[in-house]
């Protein structure tokens, strides 16, 4: 029996109006209506999803932006995906611009790789493909048992630099830690600007939070079994972590516009400290460019009171409240590339066009 090519529908898995804003922009660009569904929380905080139209045999795209209540958003996505699966949808594709728990993608002592757990949960709920943007680590794609399209926001942020920053030719791209140097180099090469790197005792990279397997074992006083003799304490003192050098800026930022680039800006303490160092070294304007503006806790107030002149983020995460609290926060719309990715996947077209001029390290 020949089955005709099915259509597609776009749904939003969010229960709050602020989070559906990106979904509305995407559907407007696609020229389709947002699918009819109701997502809400019961009085006991359980998530309920009611799909109000037939999805049988269709390809479904679920757009889910992640607000501050991360775990509720994840349950909304899982419940909606499972509801669509049991309603006989042909394919269920998650559009998750900011993938939650992406920072928990490495083993930390006796912790767990939560990002891998979430990938397995999404597959079990019925997702067959996801579209995301600027994963914290590219290797996260290996956690999934289905295809992942990891789009990039850098072309939009580079365009903002070229069009909205006066005299950007006098700028220098800054990595706030050695771990961010590759991303910063990618921006510097495409903009044909210089590169500076901050490193030293003020920085705390993810590699500092080791999983414990390389740490010297604890020295314990044993009175029972004496068959195993531990080395003397002087042996362990050699293995202790060496002290970090004083904070240093590698590169000349004097009389320049400093542009710090990163993928996520959440707790802004590191960015504020970096801005102060750059000011001391002679930078006269400081911009922060990041894909995902989580801006948790007191981030708006700290940015407003800091030496940072402007923070530019995309709308992968809703942050309208933070913008009202801090006029330094600016937004770049990435709905165009997300809509184009949906169109190309539905039509079976190549995604290569969306990655043109993207470097390996971006």
Q: Which domain holds residue 109?
A: 9-151
Whether residue 341 is contained in a domain is answered as no
Report the CATH number at residue 178: 3.40.50.2020
131 with 172, same domain: the answer is no
Over the range 325-356, which residues count as b (16 or more CB within 10 Å of their CB) and which as e?
A: bbebbbbbebbebbbbbbebbbeeeeeeebee
Picking from 184, 175, 234, 182, the residue whose alpha carbon sits closest to that of residue 203 is 175
CA atoms within 13 A on the CB side of 219: 9
**Which carries the bigger pLDDT value, residue 110 or residue 224?**
110
Whether residue 230 is contained in a domain is answered as no
Could you tell me if 70 and 51 are in contact, meaning their C-beta atoms sit under 8 angstroms apart?
no
Picking from 44, 57, 139, 48, the residue whose alpha carbon sits closest to that of residue 91 is 57
Whether residue 312 is contained in a domain is answered as yes
Quick one: average pLDDT of 1-9? 57
pLDDT band at 5 (very low <50, low <70, confident <90, very high): very low
Distances (CA, A) of 88 to 11, 81, 85, 181, 314: 15, 11, 5, 46, 34
pLDDT more than 90, % of the chain? 74
Q: Is 233 left (phi over 0), alpha (psi -120 to 50) or beta?
A: alpha
Quote the CA–CA distance of 300 and 277 in Å, as a whole number: 20
Quote the CA–CA distance of 4 and 211 in Å, as a whole number: 52
Over the range 214-248, which residues count as b (16 or more CB within 10 Å of their CB) and which as e?
A: eeeeeeeeeeeeeeeeeeeeeeeeeeeeeeeeeee
179 with 298, same domain: the answer is yes
pLDDT one-digit tens code per residue, 121-173: 999 999 999 999 999 999 999 999 999 999 999 999 999 999 999 999 999 99
Q: What is the pLDDT of residue 17?
A: 78
Quote the CA–CA distance of 99 and 135 in Å, as a whole number: 7
pLDDT one-digit tens code per residue, 71-107: 999 999 999 999 999 999 999 999 999 999 999 888 8
Picking from 217, 213, 221, the residue whose alpha carbon sits closest to that of residue 236 is 217
Quote the CA–CA distance of 71 and 107 in Å, as a whole number: 21
* In the predicted structure, residue 259 carries a pLDDT above the cut 80: yes
Q: What is the pLDDT of residue 7?
A: 82
193 with 290, same domain: the answer is yes
End-to-end CA distance of the chain: 46
159 with 40, same domain: the answer is no
Q: Indicate the pTM of the whole model.
A: 0.86
DSSP element (H, E) containing 334: none
Q: What is the pLDDT of residue 240?
A: 56
327 with 185, same domain: the answer is yes
Quick one: average pLDDT of 219-246? 58
Quick one: average pLDDT of 188-208? 77
Could you tell me if 130 and 95 are in contact, meaning their C-beta atoms sit under 8 angstroms apart?
yes
Could you tell me if 253 and 289 are in contact, meaning their C-beta atoms sit under 8 angstroms apart?
no
Q: What is the pLDDT of residue 213?
A: 47
Quote the CA–CA distance of 46 and 360 in Å, as a whole number: 42
179 with 277, same domain: the answer is yes
pLDDT one-digit tens code per residue, 13-63: 987 777 789 999 999 999 999 999 999 999 999 999 999 999 999 999 999
Quote the CA–CA distance of 332 and 154 in Å, as a whole number: 11
pLDDT band at 235 (very low <50, low <70, confident <90, very high): low
Could you tell me if 49 and 36 are in contact, meaning their C-beta atoms sit under 8 angstroms apart?
no
* In the predicted structure, residue 203 carries a pLDDT above the cut 50: no
Mean pLDDT computed over every residue of the chain: 88
- Tokens representing 28 are 């407007």
Q: What is the pLDDT of residue 3?
A: 37
Q: Is 206 helix (H, G, I), strand (E, B) or coil?
A: helix
Total domains, the chain = 2
DSSP string for 117-174: HHHHHHHHHT--EEEEES-SSGGGGGG-SS-EEEE--HHHHHHHHHHHSTTGGGEEEE
44 with 117, same domain: the answer is yes
DSSP element (H, E) containing 302: helix 299-304
Whether residue 355 is contained in a domain is answered as no
Whether residue 237 is contained in a domain is answered as no
- Tokens representing 225 are 């079994």
Whether residue 324 is contained in a domain is answered as yes
């Amino acid at each position: 029996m020949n089955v005709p090519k099915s259509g597609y529908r776009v749904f939003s898995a969010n229960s709050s109006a602020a989070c559906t804003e990106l979904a509305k922009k995407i559907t407007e660009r696609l020229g389709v209506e947002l699918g009819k569904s109701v997502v809400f929380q019961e009085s006991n905080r359980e998530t309920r999803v009611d799909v109000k139209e037939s999805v049988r045999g269709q390809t479904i795209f679920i757009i889910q932006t992640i607000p501050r209540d991360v775990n509720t958003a994840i349950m909304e996505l899982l419940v909606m995906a499972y509801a669509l699966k049991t309603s006989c949808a042909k394919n269920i594709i998650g559009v998750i611009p900011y993938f939650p728990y992406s920072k928990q993608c490495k083993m930390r002592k006796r912790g767990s790789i939560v990002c891998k757990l979430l990938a397995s949960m999404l597959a079990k709920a019925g997702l067959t493909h996801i579209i995301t943007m600027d994963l914290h680590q590219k290797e996260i794609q290996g956690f999934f048992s289905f295809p992942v399209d990891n789009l990039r926001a850098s072309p939009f942020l580079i365009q903002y630099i070229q069009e909205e920053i006066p005299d950007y030719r006098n700028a220098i791209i800054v990595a706030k830690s050695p771990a961010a140097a590759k991303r910063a180099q990618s921006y510097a090469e495409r903009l044909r600007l210089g590169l500076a790197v901050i490193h030293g005792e003020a920085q705390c990279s993810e590699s500092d939070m080791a999983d414990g397997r390389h740490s010297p074992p604890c020295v314990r006083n044993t009175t029972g079994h004496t068959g195993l003799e531990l080395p003397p304490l002087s042996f362990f003192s050699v293995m202790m972590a060496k002290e970090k050098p004083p904070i240093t800026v590698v590169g000349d930022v004097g009389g320049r516009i400093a542009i710090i680039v990163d993928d996520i800006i959440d707790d802004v303490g590191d960015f504020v400290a970096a801005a102060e160092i750059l000011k001391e070294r002679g930078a006269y304007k400081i911009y922060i460019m990041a894909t995902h503006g989580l801006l948790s806790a007191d981030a708006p107030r700290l940015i407003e009171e800091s030496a940072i002149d402007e923070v530019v983020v995309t709308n992968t995460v809703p942050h309208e409240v933070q913008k009202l609290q801090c006029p330094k926060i600016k937004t770049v719309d990435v709905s165009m590339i997300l809509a184009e990715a949906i169109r190309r996947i539905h039509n079976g077209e190549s995604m290569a066009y969306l990655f043109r001029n993207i470097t390996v390290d971006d």
